[in-house]
Amino acid sequence: MADQKSFTPSQVARHKSKKDCWFVINGRVLDVTKFLEEHPAGEEVLIEAAGKDATKEFNNVGHSKEAHNLLLKYQVGVLQNYAFNEADKNASFVESVHKEMSAFVIKDDKMPKYSTFLEFVLPLVFAGFYFSYRYL
């Protein structure tokens, strides 16, 4: 975070068009121009927030972890004199992706699907043959 470029609110406010759209979320200055068309809720909401601090709006939606990770992808700097907390300071895109990945459980299921058949049906068939042979 320390090597990030810092911007004043008025510098951010200059980027408020569809072709050049910036805003601030949690002290991070974001250039979302390339993300406008990708935003699942459309570009209008983002353009409305352009040039401003959109932290409240962003948090009010209750965006997912993926959305929070995207913030780091579009970050171009920080807001001047913004007091980041320790967790925020150390956050980086790579770290968050790793945190995200560690939540995945890779289920290595080596048992083939027909194992149920082999385990239960085959012994029954053999038992059937055995008793038929023995008693009939």
Q: How many residues bind ligand HEM (CB under 6 A)?
A: 20
> Taking CB under 6 A as the rule, does residue 49 contact ligand HEM?
yes
Distances (CA, A) of 41 to 18, 22, 44, 48, 133: 15, 17, 8, 13, 71
Rounded CA gap, 118 and 135, in Å? 25
Among 41, 83, 101, 103, interactor with ligand HEM by CB under 6 A? 41
> Taking CB under 6 A as the rule, does residue 79 contact ligand HEM?
no
Please give the single-letter amino acid code of residue 39: H
Stretch binding ligand HEM (CB under 6 A), from 4-12, 13-21, 54-62, 83-91: 54-62
Is residue 21 packed enough to be buried (19+ CB in 10 Å), middle (13-18) or exposed (0-12)?
buried
Binding site for ligand HEM (CB under 6 A): 30, 32, 35, 39-41, 45-46, 49, 54, 57-58, 61, 63-64, 66-67, 70-71, 74
